[in-house]
């Protein structure tokens, strides 16, 4: 049986609610998740159970016990996959928008993970819920995603991502005429203190360094097509950074405006290219996922033509 993960927090400055304090200090826990752990008896303040509304005090020790996830059996589902490349170690896919990557609340099946398991029936890598999936894409983001087919490949690819040796390029159509036309966004990202289900550029609480390099490819009618290269891999990073500059991704319902004059029903963000080294022989390899039709159409309507797209 798997043991609980235990985290100890030393309170330096008091006054915050217990649930809020924990969610700010433990990034993987939302405030709602912290409340559930408190209610279920997994959180103690100086070895005493407290309510979520308890105000922490300086000098106290908070012990957070995170139980392992409930065992789950991922069901293989015959969902079509757009395979860009495959060998004995790696599967590179072009994910369509609308396909959730791995099971989560409200998406127990019908995910990319279900489809991968059907394609590779004996895959037993990286955990039950996300077999072999090395990185993530938002459900409404299309494009390149990489899957490891064995433990050695998974470890190698994870090390490449951690060392920032994987080069990823995204395409985003944003609202407004981007100024300056090229630049580097170096702004830390954490949970939005006002909306805990969102991320934001924040300067206090728990933050993680986030860096995105961008440059303009074309501008038409108050829209800009941007090439974005994330140097770090934070949740919603490109969407948060571009919105922070004042140029949200078109049709981004969370960080921009869902309604748009271009008729898009999904956010215009596409994982366009990726470069990494193959785990088996160290050979550098490069893959491109062409823009899907639903993203080409608005560019054509705007008169935007970029060689290579």
309 inside domain: no
Distance (Å, rounded) from C-alpha 262 to C-alpha 242? 19
Residues 74-96 pLDDT 10s: 889 999 999 999 999 999 999 99
Q: Are residues 153 and 181 in the same domain?
A: no
Q: 285, 277 in Cβ contact below 8 A?
A: yes
Give pTM, 2 decimals.
Answer: 0.77
Q: Are residues 176 and 155 in the same domain?
A: no
Distance (Å, rounded) from C-alpha 228 to C-alpha 306? 15
Q: Which residue has the tokens 């705007």?
A: 302
Length of the chain measured in residues: 309
For residue 1, what pLDDT is reported? 45
52 inside domain: yes
Q: Are residues 279 and 182 in the same domain?
A: yes
Q: What angle do CA 146, 152, 154 make, to 5 degrees?
A: 30
For residue 115, what pLDDT is reported? 95
Q: Are residues 89 and 50 in the same domain?
A: no
Under-70 pLDDT residues of the chain: 1-3, 69-72, 104-107, 126-130, 196
The set of long-range contacts for 288-292, using a CB threshold of 8 Å and a minimum separation of 24, is 288/144, 289/84, 289/94, 289/142, 289/143, 289/144, 290/94, 291/171, 292/96, 292/97, 292/142
Distance (Å, rounded) from C-alpha 136 to C-alpha 138? 7
Residue 259 sits in a domain whose CATH number is 3.30.2350.10
pLDDT, the chain, mean: 90
Q: Are residues 171 and 144 in the same domain?
A: no
Q: Are residues 278 and 176 in the same domain?
A: yes
For residue 31, what pLDDT is reported? 80
Q: Are residues 102 and 209 in the same domain?
A: no
Q: Could you list the residue range(s) of the whole structural domain that residue 134 is in?
A: 83-162
Q: Are residues 280 and 195 in the same domain?
A: yes
**Residue that is last in its domain, among 134, 162, 190:** 162
For residue 72, what pLDDT is reported? 56
Q: Which two tokens stand for residue 219?
A: 């501008």
Q: Are residues 291 and 209 in the same domain?
A: yes
For residue 19, what pLDDT is reported? 92
75 inside domain: no
The total of other beta-carbon atoms located within 10 Å of residue 214's CB is 26
Q: 23, 34 in Cβ contact below 8 A?
A: yes
Q: 249, 170 in Cβ contact below 8 A?
A: no
CB burial of 222-247 (b: ≥16 within 10 Å; e: otherwise) equals ebbbbbbbbbeebbbbbbbbbbbbeb
Residue 59 sits in a domain whose CATH number is 3.10.290.10
Please count the structural domains in the chain: 3
> Which residue among 89, 138, 156, 252 is the active-site one?
138
Active site residue 138: yes
């Amino acid at each position: 049986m798997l043991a609980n993960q235990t985290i100890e927090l030393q309170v330096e400055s008091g006054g915050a609610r217990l649930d809020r304090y924990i969610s700010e200090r433990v990034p993987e826990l939302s405030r709602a998740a912290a409340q559930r752990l408190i209610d279920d008896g997994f959180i103690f303040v100086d070895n005493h159970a407290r309510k979520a509304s308890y105000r922490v005090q300086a000098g106290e020790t908070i012990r957070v016990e995170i139980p392992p996830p409930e065992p789950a059996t991922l069901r293989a589902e015959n969902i079509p996959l757009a395979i860009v490349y495959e060998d004995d170690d790696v599967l590179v896919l072009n994910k369509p928008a609308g396909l959730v990557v791995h099971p989560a609340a409200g998406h127990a099946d019908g995910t990319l993970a279900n489809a991968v398991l059907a394609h590779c029936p004996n895959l037993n890598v990286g955990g039950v819920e996300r077999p072999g999936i090395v990185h993530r894409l938002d459900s409404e983001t299309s494009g390149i995603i990489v899957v490891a087919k064995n433990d050695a490949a998974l470890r190698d690819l994870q090390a490449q991502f951690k060392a920032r040796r994987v080069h990823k390029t995204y395409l985003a159509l944003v609202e407004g005429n981007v100024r300056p036309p090229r630049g580097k966004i170096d702004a830390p990202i954490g949970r939005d203190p006002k909306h805990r289900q969102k991320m934001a550029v924040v300067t206090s609480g728990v933050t993680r360094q986030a860096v995105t390099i961008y440059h303009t490819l074309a501008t038409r009618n108050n829209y800009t097509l941007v090439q974005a290269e994330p140097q770090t891999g934070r949740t919603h990073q490109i969407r948060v950074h571009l919105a922070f500059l004042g140029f949200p991704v078109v049709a981004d319902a969370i960080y921009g405006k869902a309604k748009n004059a271009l008729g898009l029903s999904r956010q215009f963000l596409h994982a366009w290219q990726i470069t990494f080294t193959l785990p088996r022989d160290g050979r550098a390899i490069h893959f491109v996922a062409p823009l899907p039709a639903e993203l080409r159409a608005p560019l054509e309507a705007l008169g935007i033509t970029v060689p290579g797209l």
